[in-house]
Homo-oligomer: A and B are copies of this chain.
Amino acid sequence: MTRTIGGPGASYACLRALRDGHAGSKRFNPWMSIDSALEELTTLEKHAHLLGTVGELLGWDEQVNLAAGGAEQRASQHAALAAVIQAAASNPRIGALLEEIGTSGLDADQEAQVRHARREFERATKLPAEFVREKAIQGSRGYHAWARAKSADDFASFAPILEKNLELARAEAAYLGWGNSPYDAMIDKHDPGLTAAEIERLFTELKRDLVPLVRAITGSPAARRAQAVAARLKGFPIRAQQVFLREVTAKIGFDYTRGRIDVSLHPFCSGTGSDVRMTTRYREDQPLDSLFSSIHETGHGLYEQGLPIAQLGTGLGVNAGMAVHESQSRLWENQVARSRGFWRHFEPRWRKLFPAQTENLSPEELYLAINAVEPTLIRVDADEVTYNLHIILRFELERRLFAGELALKDLPGAWRALSRELIGLEPATDREGVLQDIHWSDGSFGYFPSYCLGNMMAAQLWFKALALRPQLEEEFARGEFGWLLGWLREQVHTQGRKFNAFELVRRVTGEALSPRHLIRYLKERYGPLYLG
């Protein structure tokens, strides 16, 4: 279908051009159809996106492969690439095409593509090239400075980096026209259309129910029993862990002909489409850690592998934001992989791979260990119940930092105080406190909230899936994960960025995002174990 903007006899388009004040302008090409303009726009979007994926690979490689002495050279590579990405994303031709195309007379898909293209173009043109370059260099240096500071437990050496990152974030918000609400600018970057105020409302509601639930669970005798069982899991050879992990992640649907898994300090997933890369880390005495973190990354990977390949890099072939991304990782990690059905299928194989390590472990003990709840100082080690408190803590600190209510020098102390208040534990070192996460090292502020929003979304999606397919868990017990993946592919993955997180939740589940589904899920899973 070719709709013509201008050209002979195209009166509607001519009217529109007149109305938009384009007629007679040199840029206006009366012979260009919307379809051909969209086609050219798509080519330019894909070019910029491909360069972005190369940058992502540089980042992956930096954390998986790069020797320490290569850090400065890598920073220069990031900077050089950032400059050409910026140039590609701010190509004036994109602006001209967007103006040609306008906003009306588009079908829903075209409108989604154009909306995304416009957003990206504005981001690209509002940020000066020199700023982008500086931020890229700072991001790479920041990562290495953070790794050193964490290893040396030395917040003082990291503070100037963090100060610079905050300064760059404020400058970025100002460039983008968010000067009065820089933290909202950071949130919008990761989750289009979401604001700190809305998140605060959701988190406050969640906290109200979650804090007493955590208190009840952690105060129960079963909590100590679960912790004791989990602590008994020791000496699981890494080679066999790798085998099991690979079997599980492939079984639930990760396509290893279009991706891989490696080892890094902090697990992550990067890449998209036909080249998705996950990382994990192995500990002999915490066999469930790398397994669940890998299932988590698999959720991210399934999402990226499920985007429409042909539209990769346009608004129809890019993920809907970090909250939706986290909903996918959390759903597979928690709702699926902590279920009894999942383990009915995988437990025999697990015991076969680790016969000596599991001989004194009953199936019920394993299930309890998988669903152990124990407040911890370290977010990435946290169970799914207390995890949300770690996020509320970080959100609160970021919010205060950006509001100017908290000075950097007081950050470690504020962390300790809030940690005691929410989690009931106070870190003795900054390594276990304010230095524990990678995110602030490259200025990824506004990212943390998406983890908890993702948890809420995952629970809400899960109950919708169960309503449609009550036998899901029995299918898991037979090693069948296809229906769930297919449903997520259709409802979420193939939707690209047509909808933001809130819109998508409403569209798929029929109601607005609410913490009550997460609370219901946690009560249903943990109640029988701890509060029965």
Contacts and interface: CB of A to CB of B under 8 A. Distances in A.
Interface residues of A, number: 37
A264 to B, nearest CB: 13
Interface string A72-92: 111011011101100110000
B260 A72 contact: no
A258 B260 CA distance: 25
A87 B69 CA distance: 30
Given A50-B77, A72-B274, A61 B67 contact: no
A135 to B, nearest CB: 17
Interface in A402-435: none
A65 B258 contact: no
B61 A80 contact: no
A487 interface: no
Contacts of A267: none
A206 to B, nearest CB: 39
A68 interface: yes
Interface string A313-344: 00000000000000000000000000000000
Given A57-B61, A61-B57, A84-B88, A50 B69 contact: no
A68 B257 CA distance: 6
A77 B84 CA distance: 13
Contacts of A67: 256-260, 275
A42 to B, nearest CB: 13
A58 interface: yes
A54 interface: yes
A273 B46 CA distance: 32
A299 to B, nearest CB: 19
A51 interface: yes
A510 to B, nearest CB: 36
Contact of A275 (B57, B70, B88): B70
Contacts of A51: 80-81, 84
Nearest to A275: B70
Contact of A80 (B47, B72, B256, B312): B47
Nearest to A309: B73
Contacts of A259: 67, 70
A429 to B, nearest CB: 27
Nearest to A71: B274
A67 B254 CA distance: 13
A284 interface: no
A65 to B, nearest CB: 6
A346 to B, nearest CB: 24
A220 B83 CA distance: 63
Nearest to A88: B84
A361 interface: no
A66 interface: yes
A275 B50 contact: no
Nearest to A80: B50
A66 B53 CA distance: 14
Contact of A47 (B57, B73, B83, B257): B83
B70 A53 contact: no
Contacts of A99: none
Interface string A429-472: 00000000000000000000000000000000000000000000
Interface in A89-145: none
A289 interface: no
B273 A73 contact: yes
A364 B260 CA distance: 46
Nearest to A49: B80
A77 B313 CA distance: 12
A50 B66 contact: no
Interface string A34-57: 000000000000110011011001
Contacts of A260: 65, 67
A285 interface: no
Contact of A54 (B46, B54, B255): B54
A273 B73 CA distance: 8
A54 B69 contact: no
Nearest to A79: B50
A84 B85 CA distance: 9
Contacts of A50: 76-77, 79-81
A258 B69 CA distance: 5
13 contacts: A47-B80, A50-B80, A50-B81, A51-B81, A54-B77, A57-B57, A67-B257, A67-B259, A69-B255, A69-B258, A69-B275, A70-B259, A84-B88
